[in-house]
Amino acid sequence: MGQETVRRTRVPWALLLGCILTIGLAIFFGIRRQPTEMGLIIGACAVCYFFLNIEKFAKFKAAGIEAELRTAVDEANATIEQLRAVATSIAKSSLSTSIAAPFWGGLPTSKRVVLDYSTIQALKEIGVSSSQLDDACDLWRRGMGIVFHNAVRSRMPHQVNGHTVNLDATAEQKETGKEFEGLMEFKSWTSPSSTAIHDFLLARSMITPEIEEIIKDYAHFEQTSELRRPEAFVAFSDS
């Protein structure tokens, strides 16, 4: 409020000084018969007057060129804010991953995904095309497929959890577990689809209610790139 008040009190003095200089210099160059210089002075002062009163102008016309300055400034400011949002989001994701890398296990999957969604949302807000977004998210979506695959695998009989093998599992259960893991192509980051996972387990009568819900979550993600049950995702992706 104080800065605005100071600006309002100074502008009239600046305008008065500008008028005096315009008249004085115009008369001076007129007396010296220097019309070019006189015109330049008047033009320069007119430009200064315009920028001192830019808030009062919606459009500026000169020499047949119309510039919608206020709209352009507003749009430029909005674009800058969007770019800042993207830069901040990407930096946050990169920095978080970087700082977590030295630790065993790194940043939990659920935390990384929250950061990833923040980046994707920022890209959408800045107006990237669908093809650009698909290109940016290709490996990310593949990685999410691996997350869902691992979530199902860790709930099969041959596993106690995602990191521990069930030593009491039968030979058949262990073999089924190996076959299921073989559906994953790690070199190309290609995971089986939700339909392929469902059919594989259904044929072996290994679909539990919990696994069925995870498969539904996976199918929903394949169609929308969104999480069907965010809270549940946090639980099974970090287990």
Express each pLDDT in 165-181 by its tens digit.
888 889 999 999 999 99
- pLDDT value of position 3: 46
What mean pLDDT do residues 194-214 have? Answer: 96
Q: Could you report the per-residue pLDDT of 154-164, keeping only the tens digit for each?
A: 999 988 776 78
- pLDDT value of position 63: 44
Residue 110 lies in a domain: no
Whether the pLDDT of residue 60 is over 90: the answer is no
User: Taking a C-beta distance cutoff of 8 angstroms, is the pair 93, 115 a contact?
Assistant: yes
What mean pLDDT do residues 17-35 have? Answer: 62
Report yes or no on whether pTM surpasses 0.85. Answer: no
Look at the chain and report how many structural domains it folds into. Answer: 2
Sequential DSSP letters for 140-153: HHHHHHHHHHHHHH
Residue 105 lies in a domain: no
Residue 40 lies in a domain: yes
- pLDDT value of position 22: 61
Q: Are residues 133 and 217 in the same domain?
A: yes
Which pair of structure tokens corresponds to residue 84? 């800042």
Q: Range of 36's domain? A: 2-56
- pLDDT value of position 107: 72
Of 10, 41, 56, which residue sits at a domain end?
56
Q: Are residues 224 and 140 in the same domain?
A: yes
